[in-house]
Amino acid sequence: MLKTLPEVRPSSVEYIDRSSDFAWLAANRENYVGKWVALFAGELVSAGESAQEVLEYSRRKGIERPLLVHVQDDLPFSGGWM
Amino acid sequence: LDVNEYTQPYAHRHYYPNSDAIEIPVVLISDKTTFVDVLGKLDTGSSFCIFERSCAELLNIELDGAADTRVRTATGFFYVYGRELTLSVFGYEWTTTVYFAESESFGLNILGRIGFLDHLRIGLVDYEQVLYCGLYNE
């Protein structure tokens, strides 16, 4: 069967290197289990109970595109949810 | 033993420091001014890309009525809403159908085959916690 290639284009939003945000998560994840955190440039911008409040707070501080993470506990993960 | 050497170039190298999951930063874009940057877990055993319900709310995507798609898991099933949007990863983007969990207790984002893996070439060296990514036509 002949398959067509997927249509992929350069992103319309600027690519942001999240390496420093990943490093922050690796170092601090256990302190924020169950919370939403907003990260930018390797720093915590805000943390809270809901994604909406965390994102709005970040944008009020002038950070339009924080990385939003719902921090999970460190139990092993399986795709077999429920 | 014959071993064929096989090399394939990738444009992007991604290090994931969390050894428990292959986490990838993605941008969900619902229109030109509405987008959100979140973390997704790569799951090659998952058919779809499934995001938390709260992600839809951040994108002003309404999830009205009964969820129309049932997803099977190892231990049961759950319901999701399918919506078309743009997914951006490592500087690439494409328009696809992704799914949002009906249940608010679904607390993670899954990057599965349809809508994610079928749009990119992926190489994985899990021992080094490194994912390589490129386009089919690179």
- From A42-51, B7-16, B77-86, B107-116, the region with the lowest mean pLDDT: B7-16
Q: What is the pLDDT of residue B64?
A: 86
Encoded amino acid at B68, one letter = D
Q: What is the mean pLDDT of the segment spanning B111-130?
A: 95
With 60 as the cut, is the pLDDT of residue A1 above it? yes
For B16, the closest chain A residue by CA position comes to A22
Q: Is B137 an 8 Å CB contact of chain A?
A: yes
Q: Which of B109, B108, B131 lies closest to B121 in space, CA to CA?
A: B131
Mean pLDDT of chain B: 92
ipTM for the whole complex: 0.92
Q: What is the pLDDT of residue B6?
A: 66
With 60 as the cut, is the pLDDT of residue A82 above it? no
Nearest-CA distance from A32 to chain B in Å? 14
Digit-coded pLDDT (tens) for B2-33:
666 667 789 999 999 987 899 999 999 999 88
- From B4-13, B49-58, B79-88, the region with the lowest mean pLDDT: B4-13
Q: Which of B81, B84, B93, B78 lies closest to B37 in space, CA to CA?
A: B93
Q: Is B84 an 8 Å CB contact of chain A?
A: no
Q: What is the pLDDT of residue B3?
A: 66
Digit-coded pLDDT (tens) for B90-112:
999 999 999 999 999 999 999 99
- For chain B positions 17-36, those within 8 Å of chain A (CB to CB) are 17-18, 20-21, 23, 25, 27, 29, 32, 35-36
CA distances (Å), origin B102, targets A77, B45, B46, B65, B70? 20, 20, 17, 10, 10
Q: Which of B35, B54, B45 lies closest to B109 in space, CA to CA?
A: B54
Q: Is B116 an 8 Å CB contact of chain A?
A: no
Distance CA B62, CA A36 (A): 21
User: What's the half-sphere exposure (Cβ side, CA atoms, 13 Å) at B114?
Assistant: 9
Mean pLDDT of chain A: 92
